[in-house]
Amino acid sequence: MSSSSTLTCTKLTAWTLAAVFLQILGLSLFVFGFFPVKPTLSGVSGPESYQAPKCDSKQDHLERNMLPPDQLRSLYKEISKIPSSFDRLILMVVDGLPAEFVLGKDDQPPPKAMMEAMPYTQSLLSNGTAIGYHAKAAPPTVTMPRLKAMVSGAIGGFLDVAFNFNTQALLDDNLLGQFYSIGWKMVIHGDETWIKLFPSVFMRHDGVSSFFVKDTVEVDHNVSRHIEAELMDNDWDLLILHYLGLDHVGHIGGRSSVLMTPKLKEMDEVIQRIHLGISDNHHGQTLLMVVSDHGMTDSGNHGGSSYEETDSVALFIGLGSKAPDYASATCNAVFQVDLAPTLALLFGVPIPKNNVGIVIAETIDSLTEDHQLRALELNSWQLLRLLRAQLPGLLCGLPSCNEFNYSQNLGISEFKGNLEEILYCLFVKAASLHDYWRSMKGQSVRSHSSNEFNDTVAAYNKFLRTSSDWLSRTASNKPLGLLAFGVSTMFISSVMFLSIQFWLNKEVRNRQRQYLPDSDKSGYNWHLDDSFVLLVILFLVFSMGSSSMVEEEQYTLHYMTCTLFLILLRKSCQFLHGRQSPSLFNSNKGQRFNYFRTFSIVLVLIFGRILRGWHQGGVNWIHFPDISKWLEKAGPHMIKSLQMVSGLLVIILSFFALYISRLKRMFILVVQISLLVSGILVLLHIMRYQEQTFSASSDSSNVVVQTIYTLLIMTVMVVVLGSPWVMPVLSGTTYSAAEASSVTSFFVDHDTRGPFLGLRASLYLVGWTYAVCWCLLQLLLQKPTNAMPTLLLLLQVLASMFYFSTGNQHHKQWVEVAALYFLGLAGHFSLGNTNTLATIDVAGAFIGISSHSTLFSGILMFIITYASPLLCHLSLTMYISMKGTDYKLASQDAHFGHILQMMIGIPCLVPLSLNSVILTTFTVILLIMRNHLFVWSVFSPKYMYVCAATVCVYIGLSIVAATVTYTCVVFLVRKNMLSSVGNSSIQTGVTNN
């Protein structure tokens, strides 16, 4: 029969692989074209930065490399004309510390508990010794790009969130490089990210891993133990202390963790020790800066662009300028990139070339007016050079602006022309006012001198802020040709997937008509459920064009999935009501089976509603009450009880599923025992070791978890590789119908055609093993509150399988697979995931790992995040085993390629087709929205999730296709072996006769 097929297995495989290749190619081209790093100037700032920029950029360069560090330091001090305010710098980085904990929010002081946790820091703010700032960080709010921003003043590209896990040396101009060039000695204790960024500048270092989030104690102790010795030494100029414990506490328990207050007290004691230490020593003026790289959400995560994640803190302790009151010392707002030019000007080194920040005004208040204006002038020259790199006509070829006098106070709205002209006129205004102030400086009597100074400062600040805002928003020009080619390639791939899907559906329909002449012809017609699946895709596609719909996508998916199953329920009820003389089930037992199938859809809807209320995802309603928040308030005992119940039910379900398969073989017993042991170990870990996630895990905990990993992997491998060899190769001429029914599941439609009954029994066992092992793994890795949703997702999948398992064709197979695909997408949000990077569970990625491994942690993080979609993809193995094979495989002698084509064609092509449509459409939307206000905060994170979901589809379907192919090959080999043995016996008998 395969010879007459218009779409052979070889053609199907070749065209599918070609479509996958084109999709990967187009996606790669688009990603590397759309997410380039921001444009940067090569080289480093030198003596030329203290001169006004020239029209010709080649004239803007003075040789400095030949000067030794001491001479270069003296040169900078001479030509900068600003006295160095400090001799040494201590940079204390408290990773993940929200500014709200120290400075309060919305002009309100911090909560009482937070103030009491940091009494010494609050006293410094109260008496004006310290000035605090809400330093807004740019997304992505992860450590590596934020450290780059603080030392270089540059905002990195969005893909820095990926490079955060594989930090490379920073080659761009930065403060540490400038300090090193003038001979500074630098020391780092703490996060090893600093050592990776600056591998050769530190004379001493003691690095700790920033990714092993289960450690909240030793990771900070390893830093604090060096404080006394370093404060006594006189051999360093810059001391960096990067504390990671508070960030780890947040990842494990969120902002309200019981360990948060003790950790804040510990940080306050460190600040006290350092401040008192630098006050008592005589090694020169030392500035203590306490900063954080980012904030954290209520759940303790970060990476997105919400206020809680971007609200980092910056404390200057020891500036010498007294704030008039507590409010003025705590309610200041700056940008994180402003730290780079501020420190450069305070310590007498050039501002890094690619800096987009502006000097913080209060930090230079102690300087004279002349020095303050000089600092603003140097900052303006540096930004002007950076602007010229992107606007070549900024200094040359522009019409001259009107002459200004000191009384003019023009705003940007009063300048006419294009961007270059506006920026140029703003600079000319500030420079003109500065020149006028200088000309009046020597006069003995100057009227309104305070107003002249304030006008000049205001003009400089206007130019600086306008330039900084524009530079911060501007990325390099995206290569539209490359992007268009990437989108076109992905579009061709989608068309190929849909075309293959169409021809395969046509092939299945033709075979139904040929081999099931008495089947229900209405199944070939277009029905409401078919139309609604297409409607779901169209609605998802159009909703992606709205930032609000992207942020709240979980509501769309829950609603659409629920509606689809309601349509299936309606159709099932109509089917029951209209069957006066059922052809498939001719007994009361068959009719009861249909009622059970209908009830299974009701269960899917009930479980879906519970999952819908488990987590309030998205952005706008995340603070609303939900089941998970109620469980957290109820206490750990309630959560642990639900975990135990969920684990026990998963184990019981696995035994029930294997029992009803009626496969009375020792192999099944071994599988049951293995799953039981794995489940017991998971429950043991929940009871005894789960609390240890608040600290570094013990060796015994790691041993238990690693044993679970090993058992689950071995169980899956043994079942996948061994079950095709031990299942009976049934033949209709050898086994009776009664014997055949003993090897089939209650779910599987009885079919005594051999060898396909044994094949389906093997795939059924493998599919169940995949599902149960996956759920046990999720019970181990997911947050404790997600134990019950994991069970409910499994029950949803099983109920759906039960409903789709009948041989009746009143549903098209592609609709059934699409329904499972949508269940996986909705379940993704039911586990608390969103389209922001902040909800990625980092803590769970280190369970059972004794030391940091980027590869293993990344794999576990992916497994946790895509638990629901991968469960539905892996369950397709079970779905294939439950579907009838009579119309697909017309005879026992069906060609091997045709068997594979009919078994895995639609289950694998439908998810590929649906994902390709979503991926291609959102790629086009992202290209259209490239200049949108929320392109980096909403659309780009969502696109990263879409790309990861594509990887998820590839992985899941590859496992399913490989499993079914291997099982079919084994059964084909065994069938041929049996045939050879039978033929030999017949020939022997003939010879004997």
User: What are the distances in angstroms from CA 845 to CA 64, 252, 257, 658, 712?
Assistant: 48, 11, 19, 31, 17
Least confident of 23-27, 518-522, 661-665, 767-771: 518-522
CB count, 10 Å around CB of 282?
A: 5
What distance in Å separates the CA atoms of residue 929 and residue 939, rounded to the nearest whole number?
8
> pLDDT tens across 778-796, in order?
999 998 999 999 999 999 9
Fold of the domain spanning 84-366:
Alkaline Phosphatase, subunit A (3.40.720)
What distance in Å separates the CA atoms of residue 882 and residue 768, rounded to the nearest whole number?
11
**Angle at 151 (CA atoms; ends 149, 156), nearest 5 degrees:** 25
Q: Which residues pair with 191 in a beta bridge?
A: 208
Contacts of 610 (CB under 8 A, 6+ apart): 627, 792
> pLDDT tens across 537-555, in order?
988 888 888 888 888 888 8
Please, what's the largest Cα pairwise distance for the chain? 136
285 Ramachandran zone, left/alpha/beta (phi>0; psi -120 to 50):
beta
Question: Is residue 947 classed as helix, strand or coil in its secondary structure?
Answer: helix
Residue 931's pLDDT band (cuts 50, 70, 90): confident
What distance in Å separates the CA atoms of residue 93 and residue 188, rounded to the nearest whole number?
11
Question: Is residue 453 classed as helix, strand or coil in its secondary structure?
Answer: helix
H/E/C letters for each residue in 372-416?
HHHHHHHHHHHHHHHHHHHCCCCCCCCCCCCCCCCCCCCCHHHCC
> pLDDT tens across 46-91, in order?
888 888 887 765 555 555 556 888 888 889 888 988 888 788 999 9
Tokens 């291609």, residue located? 920
H/E/C letters for each residue in 682-705?
HHHHHHHCHHHHHCCCCHHHHHHH
Contacts of 859 (CB under 8 A, 6+ apart): none
Q: Are strands 130-136 and 332-335 parallel, antiparallel or unpaired?
A: parallel
Each domain of the chain, given as residue ranges in start order, spans: 9-34+479-981, 84-366
pLDDT score of 957 more than 90: yes
> pLDDT tens across 449-506, in order?
667 888 889 999 999 999 888 888 775 566 788 889 999 999 999 999 999 988 888 8
pLDDT score of 191 more than 60: yes
pLDDT score of 296 more than 60: yes
Highest mean pLDDT, choosing among 17-21, 299-303, 453-457: 17-21
Of the two residues 581 and 639, the one the predictor is more confident about is 639
Contact by Cβ (8 Å): 607, 740:
no
pLDDT score of 815 more than 60: yes
pLDDT score of 818 more than 90: yes
Kindly report whether the peptide bond that precedes residue 140 is cis, defined as omega within 30 degrees of 0. yes
Q: What percent of the chain has pLDDT over 70?
A: 79
Least confident of 251-260, 491-500, 839-848: 839-848
The sign of the torsion formed by the CA atoms of 726, 731, 734, 735 equals positive
Residue 167's pLDDT band (cuts 50, 70, 90): low
- Could you tell me the two tokens for 794? 């499994």
Q: Are strands 332-335 and 186-191 parallel, antiparallel or unpaired?
A: unpaired
What distance in Å separates the CA atoms of residue 585 and residue 592, rounded to the nearest whole number?
9
Question: Is residue 183 classed as helix, strand or coil in its secondary structure?
Answer: coil
Burial track 667-683 (b if 16+ CB lie within 10 A, e otherwise): bbeebeebbeebbebbb
Least confident of 372-376, 386-390, 634-638, 987-991: 987-991
What distance in Å separates the CA atoms of residue 103 and residue 315, rounded to the nearest whole number?
10
